[in-house]
Every structure is written in structure tokens, then in C-alpha cells.
Structure 1
Amino acid sequence: MTVLHARPYAPKRGPPDGHLAGESSAVAVNITRFHNVFLYQSHSPVPELLRDLGMLGRLDARAEKQLGALTTAAWLTTIPGGSLILLCCYASWASAVSSDVPFSWQGAQPLKNGFLLGLLLLAVGGLFFLWRAMLKPRDLDNRRYGLARVLLQRLQVDLAPDAPVRLKLDLRQPDVREKRVRQDMVGWWRTEFFVDPWLTLEARLADGTFLRIRMVEKHQKRERYKTSASGKTKKKSKRKGFARLEVSLRVKPERHPRLGTLKGQTTNATRLPPRVQLERVRVAADRLSLRVRLAGDWVARAQKAPEDPETPAFWKEALEKDDASRTATMMLLSLYQVVRYARRRGKQRAAWARRQSV
């Protein structure tokens, strides 16, 4: 069962209000509700989730096309309208200066009509800009559903056939009011702090291990007013942020004896891409987890750099961004290395105990 919600994580009831052209009825969703809250949750097999994520991508592409058309229409009406108003005002001023007779709109009907037409074009352009602002939340962050798609494709081989996966995506903008946790002054900057836990993926793998992947982004919006030497006051603003990615495994403690003593081995076994920072390692009798920190400009899946021998190596390294899907894969493999070691050690001890009892 697939859900695109009008309420946070509440199942859909009743027929959908609409669906994308070309979509089958099996994936028809309530697009109107989704565009109200931009929350997605499903507990379904991987093929159904991938189909839904593909539909989200098409919704996003359609929104980007609409926003582009509205932007073009807004500028094509605003610029001519403003130019026409300025031209009419200049013509009326020039006519009044060069003539001894006081200027009157009654004797300059073409200028009056041009001025009114300019006002109309400005009003239409303003409506286009307003419409664009209302549709802006529909322009989703491609990285979010893209990362979920890549992770599902890679995990599919480790899942039992038709095994359900629980996926939650918060596709709202990262600076909505509900995600703001506090406001404070940082130096001279008035700062708003946002916490955005937007991804949760849970699945039981084919060997019985329970996997959870979570991603949280933290953002800051800073602004201040600065007065220059000439007395002009200018507003300066900037944004900064980072992402935390956490991968955890839960296992049966009887099959992995003394797992809680392997924190040092877990830290040593962890392998991460360059520049990704390991923040936390947790190991208990029945679970273990890793948490890392990514830069705010992370990508879902890094594209290969062109093999150009003329490009300096340090340029290629500077242009690379943190690959979230690769990081999650390496974290999972690192944890599984420890799990296999604990399982193998448990089997060896059990075999040794059986030999001693004979």
C-alpha cells in the first residue's frame, strides 16, 4: 500500500483527486493532498517504492517546468509594462516642458492609453510572480528522493523477495516554520536554527538483521543590517548547514555473543569517503550504529569526473562533493564486517564448547 499524505503519515482514504497523465490506476495518488504537506510514507516492497519515487520525480519535473514558464511570463510582462510607463511619463514631461500650454491627459489620449496598458502589464506580471511564489514549494529537492531511490536499488539484493520496506520522506522546504527550533544572536547576526529529520528507511534484511538509515539536516539562516559610511543601510544574509547520516543494525544477541565489547573494533573497521567525518560509534549487546557528518552541499550520487589529463588533480578534489549514497553503503559494509566477526566468533566458541562437553 502506498501513501502520499494530506496529513502527516496518515493513510489515504477514498479515490484520488487526480493523477499524472500516463500513470496506471495502481499508482494513482492524491496529488492535491501531497501538494498540501509534501510528506510521503509507505510500507511496501522495493519495486512499489521505486515506482512511487519515479512518480515524485515526474511531479518535480512538471513543477520545475511550470515555474520556468511562470518566470518567463512574469518578466515578459513586467519589463515591457515598466518600460511603457517610464516612456509615457517621460513623453508627458517632455511635452509639458517644451510647450507653454499646461499638460493635460485629455489632449494626450495615446499617452494615457499607453500608461494604462503599462499598469495592466505590471499588474499581470505581479500576478505571475505571486503565482510562482505559491507554486515554489512544489519544486522538490532532487537529492532527497534521488538518495532514497539509490539506497533502495542497492538494498534490493539483500532483501527477501517481496520484503516490505518502511520509507518516510519529508519533502518540505528545510526552512519552514515547523522545523525552526530556536532564534538567537550569533555575534552580530540574527540567526534562525532549523532541524530537518527528512529521511527514515527501515527494512529487515534476508539474514534477519534489522536495518535503519536516518538523515537529518541542520540549517542556519543569518541576517543583519549594516550601515555604510555614506549612511546607507544594507541588509546582508547568508545560509549555512550540514547533514548527519546514521546507519544502525539490530541483531539477535544470542547469535552475536559479546557484541557490546566490540566498540574499538567497530571504530577501526569503519571506512568512509574522503572529507566525511565520523561523529559517533555506538555498540550494544543487540545493536550497533554509526553517525557521520556530511557537508551541506552533499549529492545523492556523485557523477564521475571527466578523465581529462589537463585538469590538475587538486581541482578535481576541490570540485568533488560528499556522496551520501556511497557513504551510507560504506557505513553499512563496515557495520556488517563487525556483525560477521561477532557471529563467526560465536560459532567458534559454541563449537569449542561442544568439543569440551564430549
Structure 2
Amino acid sequence: MPLDLAAFQKTQVYQRRATVAEVLEDLHALDPRSQRAPESLSTHASRQTDGMGRLGKGLLLAAGVCIGVLLLVPLDQKGGVFALLLFFGSFMGLGGVLALIASWVGGRPPMEVSSSLLEERFVDPYEQQRRLLLATLLQRFQLDLLDDTPVDVTLDLSSSLDPSKRVHLGSYGTGIREEDFANPWLSLQGRLADGTRLHLSVVDVARMFQRTKDLPRKVKTRSKRRGVSLIQVALRVKPERHPGLAALEKRARDAVRLPHGATLKRVRVAEDRVELRVLLDEDWVAQAPDPSQVLPDKARKADAPKPDASRTATMMLLSLCQVLNHSSSQAQPGNVRSTS
């Protein structure tokens, strides 16, 4: 089923079962910069240049009328009116020329850098990072997924503080209000080449505090937000291929390797599945820049690096694959699956 942009714009939820290539194509189409920015910028520029062109032509026409009137005035009657018409005619003629020049300059295509900067204003940061995270994970997992097998994707680009995401509302003390939000905005399911079922999900959890004080002449309100992102990666297998898997929980915990900013929350191992849950600070980025490509002066000025969500999810998957690799090697000595 093709992408329905009109339906997506109403709900801000993308849900589809399709191949990785089709989902990546849809993600590109969902980017507001590819939808609205070029059209909006070109339309706005066209309106400006058309308006300046009409203004310039109008001023030149008015200047021509003034000159025509001056030519019709007899020489013996030229006085204050003549000087006034001459002044206005010259002024409008100069203004018309400048307006035409401005319309010609404005009609030229803008520089690429300026265009890209203007396009950024159409994109909310969290929307861009969510799309980029899903696209990055699909590209990384594509080689491990079964060829041409569809994946099930649900991507919610609405705000985590949307009233529909509120799970708790309460108040305590004097003028203190507390709201809890839970936003399960990403779900990705697919089958790996060896038959293992992959399920990855991300849930944003946020808490808003609002404190109100009644002062003599005004009401003062202060708000504070705390939030985390919960990433879950689970692999489901056939028990006969991985005997003794349920007894490897300690090994699974020891095998976990996580990048900066990620905190292990839970490890679950059963006879038919392994699962990891990890917490990330809510200011994560989909893909952190390569430190070798950051200039030294900018690195000194930059704050602590933000958590890399795509790297976290990738390392979670590799950690789980190591546990499955150990379990399968016990069943079939010498048969060790690569986790690279």
C-alpha cells in the first residue's frame, strides 16, 4: 500500500509493512524539507520578485507621465509646478529603476547554503532525530535481515507531551501539579536471515512539574521537565536451536556493552527469547558525529557529547547475538555464528 501523506499529516503516525527499501523511501518523503521547503521558498521568492517588478513598472510609468506633462507646459508658464513635477518625476524614475533591479536580483536562484538554512525551520528537532534514527537502524540491520522480507514499522512523530500521551495527572502541596507522559513512538519488527525474530521499540517517558505561586500583583508559574527514552531490543528464537538459553542470564548481563549515556535497566533471558532494556537521556541524537571530524577548537567549546541512540541500539543487538552465539555453539560444537 503506497504512502498516504494526507492521512499521515492528520495523525503524525506512520505505520506500514514493507521492505526496507520502501520504508527508507517513505521516510524521505515524510521529511517536511522535501515536501514544503522548496515549494514554499520558490513561491515566496516568486511573489516577491513579481511584486517588485510591478512596482518598478508602475513607478516608471508614473515618471513617464510626469515628463509628458512637463513637455506640454508652455515655456513662459514654467515655475513652481514645473519644479515639483520635475522632482517627483525624477524620484519615481529612480525608484522604478531600483525596483526593477531588485526584482531581477531576487529572481536568481538562492545560494545552496542559504537555502539549506531556511529549510531547517520547517523541521522540529525531535521529529528529525526520530526519522533519522529509524533510517540509520534500517540501513545497519539491512544486511542481517532476510532478503526482500517485509518489516513492520510504526513511527509516531507527534509530541511526547501531547495530551493523548498523558498517563497520570495529580497535584500535591500548594499549587504543585505533576503530569506523567508515556510515548511509545517507535516499533520495528523483522526476521533475521537465520530465522530469529527481531523486535526493537523506543518509549519516551516524561514528567512535567508545574508550580504556581500567588503573589500580591501577579501569578508566578515555574515548569520543570525530566525525561528519558527507554530502548528495548528483543530476539525471539526456536528453543531447540538454543538449548539451555534460559540459564544464560548472568552471561547475558556480562556480555552487555553500552556507549556513553546509556544505562542498563533490565536483562531478560527465557528459553525462547533474550531481551535488553536500556535508558537514554532524552537529549540523545540519532547519530553522533565522528570525533575525528570535529575541529579541535569546536571540540573544546562543545559540551559533553550527547548519547548516540543508533549506536546504543546496535550494541544492544550485538550483545544479544553473542549470547545466542554461545547457546547455539553448545548445541553444535564448532558452529559459531559471527556477530560482527
Q: CA deviation at 1:231?
A: 4.3
- Pair 1:338-2:312 in alignment: no
2:33–2:122: 8 Å Cα contact kept in structure 1? Answer: no
- Pair 1:259-2:245 in alignment: yes
Question: d(CA) in 2 for partners of 1:162 and 1:182?
Answer: 42
Question: d(CA) in 2 for partners of 1:321 and 1:259?
Answer: 35
Show the 5 A alignment for 1:147-186: 147-185=133-171
Question: d(CA) in 2 for partners of 1:307 and 1:319?
Answer: 13
Q: Report the CA distance shift for 1:312/1:214 in structure 2 as closer, same or farther (over 3 A).
A: closer
Q: Cα deviations across residues 282-319 of structure 1 (Å, max 9, x unaligned)?
A: 00001010000000111111123454445777x65x43
Query: Which amino acid in the other structure matches residue 172 of structure 1?
Result: S
* 3-state SS, counterpart of residue 332 of structure 2: helix
* 3-state SS, counterpart of residue 158 of structure 1: coil
Question: d(CA) in 1 for partners of 2:180 and 2:34?
Answer: 27
**Aligned match of 2:75:** none
Q: CA deviation at 1:219?
A: 1.4
Q: CA deviation at 1:239?
A: 2.1
* 3-state SS, counterpart of residue 302 of structure 1: coil
Q: Report the CA distance shift for 1:190/1:64 in structure 2 as closer, same or farther (over 3 A).
A: farther
**Aligned match of 1:214:** 201
Show the 5 A alignment for 1:107-186: 139=124, 141-185=127-171
Query: Which amino acid in the other structure matches residue 314 of structure 2?
Result: T
**Aligned match of 2:22:** 48
Show the 5 A alignment for 1:1-358: 1-2=1-2, 29-58=3-32, 62=36, 139=124, 141-185=127-171, 189-228=176-215, 231-305=217-291, 306-309=293-296, 318-348=303-333
Question: d(CA) in 1 for partners of 2:307 and 2:190?
Answer: 25
Q: CA deviation at 1:31?
A: 2.3
Q: Report the CA distance shift for 1:201/1:312 in structure 2 as closer, same or farther (over 3 A).
A: closer
Q: CA deviation at 1:48?
A: 0.5
Q: CA deviation at 1:227?
A: 4.1
* 3-state SS, counterpart of residue 143 of structure 2: helix
Q: Report the CA distance shift for 1:300/1:267 in structure 2 as closer, same or farther (over 3 A).
A: same
**TM-score scaled to structure 2, two decimals?**
0.68
Q: Report the CA distance shift for 1:244/1:160 in structure 2 as closer, same or farther (over 3 A).
A: same
Query: Which amino acid in the other structure matches residue 154 of structure 1?
Result: R
Q: Report the CA distance shift for 1:340/1:186 in structure 2 as closer, same or farther (over 3 A).
A: farther
* 3-state SS, counterpart of residue 141 of structure 1: helix
Question: d(CA) in 2 for partners of 1:231 and 1:64?
Answer: 49
Query: Which amino acid in the other structure matches residue 342 of structure 1?
Result: S
% identical aligned pairs: 42
Q: Report the CA distance shift for 1:65/1:192 in structure 2 as closer, same or farther (over 3 A).
A: farther
Question: d(CA) in 1 for partners of 2:35 and 2:306?
Answer: 23
1:63–1:138: 8 Å Cα contact kept in structure 2? Answer: no
1:35–1:138: 8 Å Cα contact kept in structure 2? Answer: no
Q: Report the CA distance shift for 1:64/1:176 in structure 2 as closer, same or farther (over 3 A).
A: farther
Question: d(CA) in 2 for partners of 1:246 and 1:307?
Answer: 30
Q: Cα deviations across residues 149-206 of structure 1 (Å, max 9, x unaligned)?
A: 0000001111222111111111112122211111013665312111000100001000
* 3-state SS, counterpart of residue 36 of structure 2: helix
Q: CA deviation at 1:214?
A: 0.5
**TM-score scaled to structure 1, two decimals?**
0.65
Q: Cα deviations across residues 46-93 of structure 1 (Å, max 9, x unaligned)?
A: 1101000111114676279969x99xxxxxxxxxxxxxxxxxxxxxxx
* 3-state SS, counterpart of residue 348 of structure 1: coil
1:168–1:199: 8 Å Cα contact kept in structure 2? Answer: yes
Q: Cα deviations across residues 236-291 of structure 1 (Å, max 9, x unaligned)?
A: 22222110000000011101000000000000000000231100000000101000
1:137–1:173: 8 Å Cα contact kept in structure 2? Answer: no
Query: Which amino acid in the other structure matches residue 132 of structure 2?
Result: G
Question: d(CA) in 2 for partners of 1:223 and 1:62?
Answer: 36
| Unaligned ranges ≥5, structure 2 | 45-120, 336-340
Q: Report the CA distance shift for 1:221/1:195 in structure 2 as closer, same or farther (over 3 A).
A: same
